[in-house]
């Protein structure tokens, strides 16, 4: 097995991903929210790069059973139904709905990751399920969404814990970023306190959404795996 980690989207080369299982990580908060929505009964999630594209797609799908979701700079987009807080995506809010989503960092990473043979969103909340799902792959590419093109400690920590879970006591061919992420995970666990010290976590605290970090830090909250299929992220196991 070979595991390659890229700490920002710009580092990842889509042309090299064709035969790889791609895992996208955006702990604070897109992949955490995607997992929460699907675990609570959402039919599927349609990621879009822009808010304008999201609005057009939602109307083409039919607004009676489609929710517009997304954020810019952490806050809900004006006129959208939901933002990007996992606390919003309750069963009462999303069950049976299609969700069209656009976020600052996560949806861009998902767009790049579509070039792989499989695309799986990962957060701490479904870490165990994802690690089991990818453990038989020959090549895994982990794309960290980062924060506006920069390194994000929370994503790196999740990538590291995923690598350690996948490998266990076995060995694999790791690139330098995978080794660094795994080393970080060896002495840090996900906690709200840890996330509050990161750039992304502090930004959420500053806009009054610090409680989201409790969910972001909850390991194996859900035992589900989702995949991108025909441009839609759907639940594949629960």
Domains in the chain with CATH codes = 2-237 (3.90.1560.10)
Amino acid 96: pLDDT: 98
Quick count: other Cβ atoms within 10 Å of Cβ 64?
Answer: 6
Amino acid 237: pLDDT: 78
User: In what order do the strands lie in the sheet containing 2-6?
Assistant: 118-122, 21-25, 139-144, 2-6, 173-174
Banded model confidence at residue 5, pLDDT cuts 50, 70, 90: very high
Per-residue pLDDT at 190 exceeds 70: yes
Chain centroid offset of residue 137 CA: 19
% of the chain residues with pLDDT over 90: 97
Tens digit of each residue's pLDDT (9 = 90 or more) over 16-56: 999 999 999 999 999 999 999 999 999 999 999 899 999 99
Read off the pTM.
0.97
Inter-CA distances, 230 with 41, 114, 115, Å? 19, 10, 12
Per-residue pLDDT at 238 exceeds 80: no
Amino acid 33: pLDDT: 98
Q: Looking at residues 222-234, what average pLDDT do you find?
A: 97
Detail the DSSP E strand segments found in the chain: 2-6, 21-25, 44-47, 66-72, 75-76, 98-102, 118-122, 139-144, 173-174, 225-229, 232-237
Q: Give me 40's structure tokens.
A: 């609570």
Maximal C-alpha separation, the chain: 50
Per-residue pLDDT at 76 exceeds 90: yes
User: How many helical (H) and strand (E) elements, i.e. helices and strands, does the chain have?
Assistant: 10, 11
């Amino acid at each position: 097995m070979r595991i390659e980690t890229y700490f920002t989207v710009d580092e990842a080369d889509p042309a090299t991903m064709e035969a790889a299982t791609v895992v996208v990580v955006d702990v604070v908060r897109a992949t955490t929210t995607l997992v929460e929505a699907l675990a609570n009964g959402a039919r599927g999630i349609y990621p879009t790069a822009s808010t304008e594209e999201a609005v057009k797609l939602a109307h083409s799908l039919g607004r009676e059973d489609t929710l517009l979701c997304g954020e810019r700079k952490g806050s809900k987009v004006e006129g959208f139904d939901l933002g990007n807080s996992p606390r919003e995506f309750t069963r009462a809010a999303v069950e049976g709905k299609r969700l069209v989503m656009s976020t600052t960092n996560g949806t861009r990473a998902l767009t790049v990751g579509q070039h792989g043979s499989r695309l799986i969103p990962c957060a701490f909340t479904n870490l165990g399920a994802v690690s089991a799902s990818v453990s038989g792959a020959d090549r895994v590419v982990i794309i960290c969404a980062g924060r506006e093109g920069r390194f994000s400690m929370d994503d790196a920590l999740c990538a590291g814990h995923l690598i350690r879970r996948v490998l266990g006591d076995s060995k694999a061919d790791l690139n330098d970023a995978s080794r660094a992420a795994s080393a970080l995970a060896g002495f840090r666990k996900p906690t709200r306190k840890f996330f509050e010290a990161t750039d992304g976590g502090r930004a959420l605290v500053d806009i009054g959404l610090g409680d989201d970090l409790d969910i972001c830090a909850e390991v194996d909250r859900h035992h589900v795996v989702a995949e991108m299929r025909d441009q839609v992220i759907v639940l594949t196991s629960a």
